[in-house]
Structure 1
Amino acid sequence: MIVQSLELKNYRNYQDIKMDFHPGTNLLYGDNAQGKTNALESIYLCATSKSHKGAKDKEIIRFGEEEAHIKLIVEKRGVPNRIDIHLKKNKTKGVAVNGSPIRKVTELFGILNVVFFAPEDLNIIKNSPAERRRFLDLELCQLDKIYAHNLVNYNKVIVQRNKLLKEMDGRAGWYETLDVWDEQMTSYGVPLIARRRAFVRELAGIVQEIHYSLSGGREQVEICYASNVSEEDFKKVLAKERGRDLKMRASLTGPHRDDIRFLINGVDVRHFGSQGQQRTAALSLKLAEIEIVKQRVKDSPILLLDDVLSELDGSRQNQLLQRISHIQTIMTGTGLDDFVEHCFHIDKTFHIENGNVVGGFNEQQQSGI
């Protein structure tokens, strides 16, 4: 899988730009706040329909403009596919694949598979459960359209159920309405739990092998799916805890409260691991994500690295670069010196300055890298 080109119009600080990428390693470099991450965000948006930052469409459109446009060409198994996304300030975004508009966002999933790795991902182990659930959801949505369908509908049900819980205040007839929402919660929630459990089980074996290698054979890592409720008990527990939900005016049972636990040599690394152990576990998780995509789609995903190398020590940098040498990588950094110093092979560079490509080179022009 190769991203051949990316065109942006009125996207954040980009007015009108086109980048043609190398099938190997591409580096976008320049000072901070020049637009490097924005380019990676646009590629991620073409894969998932969402910003990795959680930004709203209107926040992405260039200041003073009403619309933004992304055009991306991805080659998959030798066949080029074009993804067009129109972002509008006051309307739902428009998405087209090979010139044909799609009706549901889930139709976009799987056309372009990406793994996004940013410095904040190194904290995924120690941060809140919401971030680990987000990791599960974003990866599973790219790999499983049924999961994406269930997740979208489950989240809608949770919003409506919570709204009802907040507005009831003992009103006659409303209590029975919860039965309808509870039925839908379990209908969409049970397959979510089952799919997450299977995915974490699959992920665990790959992470274990990678982490063992990254730690020099000193650490064994385990990943456990910490579900808020089992598939079998969901409906029963939901009914049992209704009184608590009414009191707290929130839905406290279901996969929207799940987590993943990481154990290193039997110890919970989130609470008792060192920062180094937490970062190694996070790196293992992202590398395992690449392997799972490869196994599932029979192709390599696009790796988006947002200034991650600056956050890793030399050993982890080398481990990362060795494991991604066979897939297309689009990465950002503030300068070329670190790459030259460590003899990292870069096939093509783009010098980004204030939303423009002002320089760079390709592999034929390389000198010292």
Structure 2
Amino acid sequence: MHLTSLSVTDFRSYPSVTVDLGPGVTTFLGRNGQGKTNLVEAAGYVATLASHRVAQDAPLVRFGSTSAVVRAEVVRDGRTSLVELEIVPGKANRARLNRSALTRQRDVLGTLRTVLFAPEDLALVKGDPSERRRFLDDLLVARQPRWAGVRADYDKALKQRNALLRSGAALWRDPRSSRRRAPAPRLGPGESLEDARESALSTLTVFDAHLAQVGAALTYARLRLLRDLGPYLQDAYRTISDADTPVLATYRSSLHAEVAEALAQGQVPEQEELGQAVLATIEQVRRQEQERGVSLVGPHRDDVVLSLGDLPAKGYASHGESWSIALALRLAAFRLLRTDLGTDPVLVLDDVFAELDSGRRRRLAQLVADCEQVLITAAVPDDVPAELVTGAVFDVADGAVTRRAS
């Protein structure tokens, strides 16, 4: 799989630019702030419908414009596909595949797959659990795009359930509590407080069941993914770090202690068993959820614990070790997708060589040398190992992208 053309209009700093690409290594060189990362960010957006730099779409649209367009030609197994995405902040984005409009933007997922490593990835080791959850879920979608729909369903169910918990706070709060008083509950004609509580609890039970069903499916998929990813992670870390210390990724669940311990040991229960565990744990924390107005159980509360030897990487790993773990996670994802798909995803290395010492640079270059397509950005030519400067080189400056003569 590789890109043959990437075109953007009113995307980030670019009024308009088109870059012709091909298999092998392509390097974008330029000083910081010239737009190198904007180009590979556009490629990543085609693959994931999200940016690796910002959570919202608005910053992707050039200042003064109302929308941005990204077009990508993708070749896989000799067949070319054209993906066109229009980003319209505050409105529904639009997507076309081979010039045909799609009802849902996410139907383009799977046309292009990328694995992108950037300086922000240090947060995979040192950052909040949300960073590691996103890594897992993005990789799930890259393996099988249908998981995008499951993620959307779960997010919707969670939002609705939290809204119900907040709206019912006045009904469930103990009037003797010293907590700040909630507004008095609104009761219907002839309705007692007890009737209102029973009605709200009945509705909440329905949401419990839906959250448990979708959450169990997502948790099951994450557990299987971690199991499949483990051997690739070990191998990638050993190669990048040139060390024999084992690196482990274990699942920390919000489910009750017995199930959480089993998951941390690598067990993968069936979805039905996980769903039952979600419901049982919700019952245990029902009072806390009602008091706080938020859902405390489910994959949105889970984490992946990265360990180096017997110690958690977060807080104990050195800066260099943390970089090696983050890079190993991305390379493991690449190898897993290569095995699953029978073809390489596009590998993007966004300004990462400047963060690595000479040994790690050299070992990384050796690992990616056989990839079908690699896109590299760098501010300084000397940051890129000589063995990778084998393909097209583009200079990026002042909104212009110019290919160097061979």
* TM-score bracket relative to the smaller structure: over 0.9
How far did 1:281 drift? 1.4
1:220 aligns with: 246
Match of 1:52 in 2: 52
Instruction: State the distance in 2 between where 1:58 and 1:179 align.
Output: 37
Residue aligning to 2:139:
139
- Gaps in structure 2 of 5+ consecutive residues: 172-184, 186-195, 260-273
Work out the CA distance in 2 between the residues paired with 1:338 and 1:59. Answer: 28
Matched letter for residue 289 of structure 2? D
Q: State whether structure 2 residue 361 is matched by structure 1 residue 361.
A: no
Q: Please tell me whether residue 80 in structure 1 is matched to residue 125 in structure 2.
A: no
Structure 2 CA distance for aligned equivalents of residues 276 and 40 of structure 1: 25
Q: In structure 2, what is the Cα distance between the partners aligned to 1:278 and 1:26?
A: 27
Q: For 2:320 and 2:353, how far apart are their aligned partners in 1?
A: 15
Letter in 2 for 1:214: I
**1:262-301 to 2 correspondences below 5 Å:** 262-301=306-345
Q: Can you list the C-alpha shifts for 1:240-281, whole angstroms capped at 9, x where unaligned?
A: 211111111111111111111122222222232222222211
C-alpha distance in structure 2 between counterparts of 1:174 and 1:94, whole Å = 38
Task: Report the TM-score when normalising by structure 1.
Answer: 0.93
Query: Which runs of no fewer than 5 residues in structure 1 stay unpaired?
Result: none
Offset of residue 220 of structure 1: 1.6
The answer to whether the 8 Å contact 1:74/1:80 transfers is yes
Q: 1:195 to 1:238 in 2, by over 3 A?
A: same
Which residues of 2 match residues 95-106 of structure 1 at below 5 A? 95-106=95-106
User: Match of 1:165?
Assistant: 165
CA distance in 1, matches of 2:58, 2:202: 39
1:248 paired to 2:274: no
SS of 1:103's partner is coil
Cα RMSD of the aligned pairs, angstroms, is: 1.7
Residue equivalent to 2:396? 352
**Does the aligned pair in 1 maintain the 2:353–2:383 contact within 8 Å?**
no
Aligned partner of residue 221 in structure 2, secondary structure = helix
Q: Letter of the 1:73 partner, please give it.
A: E
Percent identity, aligned pairs only? 30
Corresponding residue of 2:380: 335
Answer whether contact 1:154 1:188 (CA < 8 A) is retained.
yes
Aligned twin of 1:36: 36
For residues 24 and 208 of structure 2, what CA distance do their matches in structure 1 show? Answer: 49
Distance 1:128 1:235 in 2: 26
How far off is 1:217 after superposition? 4.1
Deviations 1:282-338 (A, max 9, x none): 111111010011011111010111101100111111111111112211111113233
Paired residues of 2:123 and 2:131 also in contact (CA < 8 A)? no
Q: Distance in 1 between matches of 2:54 and 2:366?
A: 31
Distance of 1:306 and 1:339 partners within structure 2: 11
- State the distance in 2 between where 1:193 and 1:21 align: 38
- List structure 1 runs of 4+ shifted beyond 6 angstroms: none
Is the alpha carbon distance of 1:7 and 1:310 closer, same or farther for their aligned partners in structure 2, counting shifts above 3 Å? same
How many Å apart are 1:47 and its aligned residue?
0.8
TM-score when normalising by structure 2 = 0.85
TM-aligned CA deviation for residue 215 of structure 1: 3.2
Amino acid at match of 2:66: E
Q: CA deviation at 1:46?
A: 0.7
Of residues 301-310 and 56-65 in structure 1, the stretch that sits farther from structure 2 once superposed is 56-65
Which residue matches 2:219?
A: 193
- Displacement of 1:145: 3.0
* 2:236 counterpart SS class: helix
Mapped to 1, the partners of 2:88 and 2:241 lie a distance apart of 47
